Structure 1
């Protein structure tokens, strides 16, 4: 039954939590397994809505999937069974597969749902046209119509809003007939490009780059089926690490402390803030200290804005987070929603230019409307782990986009939810 709201009583967070697999790595691995000839095994896959949509897409594009709960067995082979695919609200899936379907010579339509229909997709149209592919969008938005084949060549890629379409080209162009060269302007989120390059290497694909500005992709390559283990999701883990910082101790397992994921930077902020931490290969243990205000640039890790607001709300003074222009085209206008909704809990969030400042105030009970944004909903719930008397979160089901077991895991560290 659809749940309209969840009421989280104030609680003291303590306990252990195991973090599920990264949805970002899972979707990239699924795309690579589609393009590989043979059988790939993807272990510890994300079960988020975004990952489930990516699974459906690769099946429509010719892959077969056997789900063994702890792993997915994927028989690869790009041979579309349909000329239309639907990516749900996954921006990554949409931008990855818009490039990949260009390998086919028939017209393909890539559709989106929910707020993704309002997010910018013009970078797809411009770059594919430069590569000789027919491509049209709906005035710079979904759906995208693509007709290849993608043969390779040279193109410029706008990386100022997202690196996701660059990732899509890096995955598609190795199968093109000719070599390719990409020149990338104003690239943001370089760690996410590294994530793509890591997956490509695991599947036997070579891509060269110079300072993330110029990429050279040899054509006529072959993806090699492999066994791929998805590492734990630092984006989701950040909320539980912050919850531990507001009380604790909370032990978080399932993470690679040496991960290249952008949101591993949460550890840097927690250290700046004076939070107590113990880090080992097996677990990260966090508990409250005298939380200091912090100054942090989140340009390369914009998904950390939501969990950092609850941390800043419990600091001894005003905190500053830079890079808010990355928030305007998320599931919501994330900067505006954080500013308006967290005011309901007594938190003063101010934005100017590229900067967000958070000033703690007398915290109070309140109702938060996440505007369909999964990370806003999770940030609101974490506030109840601190000094807020209780939080009501509307539309809690939106957390399934990235973390379907989020509220269950909040209960595992002491959360009382009705």
Structure 2
């Protein structure tokens, strides 16, 4: 347990590397013949599961450059090992992205899951993989997932309304299938994450095309990825927690952020400005400073990971803020909308939920004891709220931040956060 007390922040922190881009790069590097150097690679739990998975499947993963401040990891693709089981931990991206990637090989291989990921939907993968020549078997629509046969390419339709992660896996895998492919997508959410995947495919020499609405994707088969160097940018999802901390408790500068990034959580900048924070954006850094907080409205439909920290932001200002697009949060680590509602109630903040809209009544944060529920985003949101609380907040299960940002509490303390 960690206690976060009322604090005044002032200082600079580096954004951690993007775990989403690191995992995508790991998948592409696994499919290369030569050695790829992933620069500024994330060392969080989710990225670690991706690297261990490809190592179990036959890739050589060199961590020798990861401990000298460079965060450089080498990956040499190789002949698949024939492993029959791999562990995705609690990473939904790892599970859904690697299922089609591993289906390129004859299998069978079972992708196992831990914690809440065992209850998250995976059945959207079954029919498309069959359409494309492989087979997939879930457990009552959830992990573990067993893939077998060989992904040969062809035509299929994908439901993108719950998650775009499986689509990302298909986009990475199908250029290497033996036949040309076409994917029709309905109800796509998290469009920006799909665009990030397309950027990774192209960075490794792959060719694919889509219509402007991202409803049709086409790619030739029998392509080959080219090994090389891939630079991972800073993680806007994790940095959002630091920027919100600055907005509620002082002044924080976060370096290593690309304001032109495709990452959807870059939208935190618009939310902060709408909430009255002072925001200054430079080519590689962002400053966020507390100003006159005000209630705000924001839609997290395309950036659901922002919901917990924006709820903390709303809690610190007088008035009622409306956050829309929360219906997708039921499939996150902890049924995230309900978890925020219950845990914020324990610290004196009322959150009401109604048909995809959260209403947060801000004002005085009393403080108290609240549970992260094993959700890294909720743990960081509770910490941000604690900085502006009367009594401080005891956070149960703070270690879950290692899923995306292992150094979060260390960095918050260096900025002036009173953490014990």
Tell me whether the two structures share a fold, i.e. TM-score over 0.5.
yes
| Structure 1 residue 350: Cα displacement | 0.7
Segment of structure 1 superposing worse, 272-281 or 389-398: 272-281
Deviations 1:204-233 (A, max 9, x none): 011111121111121001001121110000
Are the aligned partners of 1:339 and 1:349 in contact in 2 as well (CA < 8 Å)? yes
Residue matched to 2:305: 303
| Structure 1 residue 134: Cα displacement | 1.8
Equivalence map 1:340-379=2 (5 Å)? 340-379=342-381
| Structure 1 residue 132: Cα displacement | 2.4
Are the aligned partners of 1:348 and 1:361 in contact in 2 as well (CA < 8 Å)? no
Which of residues 48, 52, 58 is equivalent to 2:54? 58
Residue matched to 2:198: 197
Segment of structure 1 superposing worse, 358-367 or 180-189: 358-367
Which of residues 207, 211, 216 is equivalent to 2:218? 216
The 1:33–1:307 alpha-carbon spacing in structure 2 relative to 1, beyond 3 Å, is same
| Structure 1 residue 315: Cα displacement | 2.1
| Structure 1 residue 257: Cα displacement | 1.3
- In the alignment, the residues of structure 1 paired with residue 84 and residue 365 of structure 2 have an alpha-carbon distance, to the nearest angstrom, of 52
Are the aligned partners of 2:13 and 2:255 in contact in 1 as well (CA < 8 Å)? yes
| Structure 1 residue 80: Cα displacement | 2.7
- In the alignment, the residues of structure 1 paired with residue 409 and residue 79 of structure 2 have an alpha-carbon distance, to the nearest angstrom, of 37
Equivalence map 1:328-347=2 (5 Å)? 328-347=330-349
- In the alignment, the residues of structure 2 paired with residue 132 and residue 221 of structure 1 have an alpha-carbon distance, to the nearest angstrom, of 18
- In the alignment, the residues of structure 2 paired with residue 161 and residue 134 of structure 1 have an alpha-carbon distance, to the nearest angstrom, of 21
| Structure 1 residue 295: Cα displacement | 1.0
Equivalence map 1:14-413=2 (5 Å)? 14-67=10-63, 68-69=65-66, 70=70, 71-210=72-211, 211-413=213-415
- In the alignment, the residues of structure 2 paired with residue 416 and residue 291 of structure 1 have an alpha-carbon distance, to the nearest angstrom, of 22
Are the aligned partners of 1:15 and 1:248 in contact in 2 as well (CA < 8 Å)? no
| Structure 1 residue 291: Cα displacement | 1.1
Deviations 1:279-303 (A, max 9, x none): 1123211111111211111100000
Deviations 1:125-145 (A, max 9, x none): 121122221211101011111
- In the alignment, the residues of structure 1 paired with residue 390 and residue 400 of structure 2 have an alpha-carbon distance, to the nearest angstrom, of 22
SS at structure 1 position matched to 2:137: strand
**Consecutive unaligned residues in structure 1, runs of 5 or more:** none
- In the alignment, the residues of structure 2 paired with residue 363 and residue 416 of structure 1 have an alpha-carbon distance, to the nearest angstrom, of 16
SS at structure 2 position matched to 1:52: helix
Alignment TM-score, normalising by the size of structure 2: 0.97
Deviations 1:233-285 (A, max 9, x none): 00000011001011321111111111110000000111112211221123211
Are the aligned partners of 1:50 and 1:89 in contact in 2 as well (CA < 8 Å)? yes
| Number of aligned residue pairs | 414
Segment of structure 1 superposing worse, 187-196 or 311-320: 311-320
- In the alignment, the residues of structure 2 paired with residue 309 and residue 106 of structure 1 have an alpha-carbon distance, to the nearest angstrom, of 44
| Structure 1 residue 16: Cα displacement | 1.0
Segment of structure 1 superposing worse, 25-34 or 69-78: 69-78
- In the alignment, the residues of structure 2 paired with residue 284 and residue 293 of structure 1 have an alpha-carbon distance, to the nearest angstrom, of 22
Deviations 1:67-100 (A, max 9, x none): 1112011111351341211111100000111111
- In the alignment, the residues of structure 2 paired with residue 19 and residue 105 of structure 1 have an alpha-carbon distance, to the nearest angstrom, of 40
- In the alignment, the residues of structure 1 paired with residue 209 and residue 42 of structure 2 have an alpha-carbon distance, to the nearest angstrom, of 29
- In the alignment, the residues of structure 2 paired with residue 356 and residue 252 of structure 1 have an alpha-carbon distance, to the nearest angstrom, of 28
Segment of structure 1 superposing worse, 40-49 or 362-371: 362-371
Are the aligned partners of 2:365 and 2:385 in contact in 1 as well (CA < 8 Å)? no
Which of residues 3, 6, 10 is equivalent to 1:10? 6
SS at structure 2 position matched to 1:404: coil
> Following TM superposition, where does structure 1 have runs of at least 4 consecutive aligned residues deviating by more than 4 angstroms?
none
**Consecutive unaligned residues in structure 2, runs of 5 or more:** none
Are the aligned partners of 2:59 and 2:76 in contact in 1 as well (CA < 8 Å)? yes
- In the alignment, the residues of structure 1 paired with residue 364 and residue 398 of structure 2 have an alpha-carbon distance, to the nearest angstrom, of 25
TM-align CA RMSD: 1.1
Segment of structure 1 superposing worse, 210-219 or 299-308: 210-219
